[in-house]
Amino acid sequence: MAFDGVIRGMVVAAALTVAACVSGGCNGHASRAKPQSGNADQTKPGGGASKTWGAPVLSDDFGGAALDKNKWQVYEAPDAASHRGIAAGTHVSGGRLVLVGGLYGGRDQSAGVISRFAQTYGRWEARIRSDPGPGYSATAFLWPVHMGSPEWAEIDFAEILAGDRRSGGLFIHHGRDDQQVQRTTRADFTKWHTVTVDWLPDHVTFSMDGKKTWTYKGAFIPKQSQMQLYLRNEMRTGFHRTASTPDKITMEVDWIRVYRAPSAAR
């Protein structure tokens, strides 16, 4: 995903102020109200700490009656020139975060959330799926608290651009001129998948369902930014609905986990 003149992040800054939980983490997570049907949480991590990464500093199973505003800011920019977003598209239901992009008042609007927690280096995991819908992208990505200060950077560990949801992109963006490297992941994203990114000083590793898909060790690795997690079902600049695009397109998130980098790696 291109910086799009940095509108993707700056429009958020213009529309709302995101308070980042930078130092102590956003602790605790809601428990599920009831077991889920299907395969949504088949690979849901247990309550214990990871041997490599320790206990999560941010976790959410979306089991409450509403979004936890201590952990999340709702993306809202209904009149933006690009990446419009409306709060009405974001809610929690059935133990899942539900992001419904589509037509609201006759205009295409994205739906999404931004974590209040931010850190430099670590692991981010999300279990996601999306309905088909040409023109819309189901995304999970890391974006700096302050784009351009100290650096221009973005890491997309799920950017499901294909309208049929049969493939997804992995991207690392670097520099004001938005240089980037990327890979494509082939999977049916109408089904549940766990996407993961490990961001460390000397490499960025992407995984899906516990299997590594790409490790990058080049010059585009972000080095200084405090990054927040964005989960968004979005229509971006240059993408348009077609005759087959439903009025509403749903992206679901079953759970997320965020871990600090091991101390030896920071």
pLDDT at residue 6, rounded to an integer? 42
Query: What pTM value is reported for the model?
Result: 0.86
Give the pLDDT band (50/70/90) at residue 137.
very high
- Rounded distance between C-alpha atoms, residue 119 and residue 142, angstroms: 10
Q: What share of the chain is helix, strand, coil (3-state, %, to 5)?
A: 5, 45, 50
More confident: 253 or 9: 253
Q: Spell out the domain ranges in the chain.
A: 7-32+56-265
Determine the Cα–Cα distance for residues 253 and 96; give it in Å rounded to an integer: 6
Contact 206, 170 (CB under 8 A): yes
| Residues 48-76, mean pLDDT to the nearest whole number | 92
pLDDT digit string (tens) for 185-234? 999 999 999 999 999 999 999 999 999 999 999 999 999 999 999 999 99
Q: Which fold would CATH assign to domain 7-32+56-265?
A: Jelly Rolls (2.60.120)
